[in-house]
Amino acid sequence: MVIPVADLTIPRVLPNQIAGEDCLAADGQTVSKKSPHDGSEICQVARSKASDIARAIAAAKAAQPAWAALTVVRRGEILRATAQLMQQHRQALAAIVALETGKSLKDALGETDAAIEMGFFVAGEGRRFYGRTTTSAVADRQAMTVRQPIGVAGLIIAANTPIANVAWKAFPALLCGNGAVMKPSEDTPITAWACALLLREAGLPAGVYSNVNGFGDEAGAPLVESADVDVVSFTGSTGVGRWIAATCGRRLAKVCLELGGKNPFIVCDDADLDKAVTFALASAFSNAGQRCASGSRLLVFDAVYDEFKHRLVDAAKKLAIGPGDADYYGAVINEKQLNNMLEAINAARNAGATIVSGGTRLDDPAHRNGYYLAPTIIENASRTAEITANELFGPITCLYRVQGFEDALAFADASPFGLTSAIHTRYVNRAMTFLQRIKAGVASVNGGTFGSEPHLPFGGLRQSGTGWREAGTEALDVYSEWKTVYINYNPQGV
């Protein structure tokens, strides 16, 4: 069956896109892509293996020198044309995102618009692409730095915000003059397929960018292991990130990892509780909690704990769950993830924690065929418990009672992660001290733990990543190398 989605049509078997051509996996194998909303099959997807990845890498390696030889302004123009096509097809792209993730069309449109803005921002960097000129201690010598491409980029993305994830990696990798091979999540292959179509339509030369579908161990691993891949950029779990770092380290390949988070959301005794509850709900439950920036640890001062808990639980129980625009969040991405979350909740309960809201799969007629988890709030978990330490990537958050600012800050920084953070307070001295001392890549005052803008860098410390940043001008540092240039001249020779 061919499924029409506005002006983009999803084929019954979703192909790879290698060297400018649509193709199935070399061995013809496919895998079913199911709807998170009701479990029905959307399409079959090419199940690629090492030979398919090798073909895509070879195409990127062959096409990269000519692509790099174009001016960066010209490369930016092609990316701008891509962003314009995305804008033209935004309704169709958002429909695809909503279909394969189970989120609402409203949320999918917001994500699509963010990807478009990233495209325009990165394209604009083609008119800047700044190096620097500086002085030299040697007479009659000019010194400067310029960016140069790395070669072939292997891009591996998660399923939570599929079109934004494509934009965050593909646009800067291509602007810097690299060839690229995208391996999207097996849970969201259709969005990446649609974006690759638009890149091709915008005039990207054949071979420069390939989109290859498949599982991580069958398609992602060969991409990471290839000696012809010069930089690997991965968004996903910390466990997989460790393996990628070790694998790339053995051949000294550059690697950018954007990994997990167990992000603290601190509520002080002088906080605006209505605002704090609103942002806590959004941090914990928007996008079904499937954010590395999710607010999964709510650290609340003892003086306001009971009141905040009452308001939060009351608000969470009123949230509408489903794929509609009036719903707060939709399904989680697949049944395996849902079952993992339920097991983690049950383990927390057995370890002494209390489930104060949710904790169950929704099994009413509107939800029973999909992968829906009720908004879950847990308290009384130990600060050293497994659920306190590990990222769950779902609509689950834990409440913790803290005795004051120093206790909250110490507990916030006790996590092995260090991605995002937030504090709610009216006291400027407390807010500024938090911003200076919190060990996180992103810190927010009176806001949420999530939310990023295309011109600002995003990334974390410790087990949240390798120190590189995505988005912003800083993303160019991931996909380019610096070259120092000296020009010696003779003033007497004019």
From 117, 186, 258, 379, active-site residue: 258
C-alpha 172: how far from chain center: 14
Specify the residue for token string 């123009």: 77
* 379 noted as active-site residue: no
Active-site hit among 176, 248, 268, 292:
292
Residue 475's SS3 state is: helix
Contact 75, 127 (CB under 8 A): no
Q: Residue 461 has what DSSP assignment?
A: S
**Alpha helices of 230-385 — where are they, by DSSP H?**
238-250, 273-285, 302-317, 335-350
Contacts within 8 Å (CB) and 24+ apart, 406-413: 408/264, 408/266, 408/268, 408/299, 408/301, 409/266, 409/434, 409/437, 409/438, 411/264, 411/297, 411/299, 411/383, 412/264, 412/266, 412/297, 412/299, 412/438, 412/439, 413/437, 413/438, 413/439
Amino acid at 315: A
* Contact present, 207 and 60 (Cβ < 8 Å): yes
Reply yes or no on whether 176 is catalytic: no
CA–CA–CA angle 229, 234, 236 (5° rounding): 150
What are the catalytic residues? 258, 292
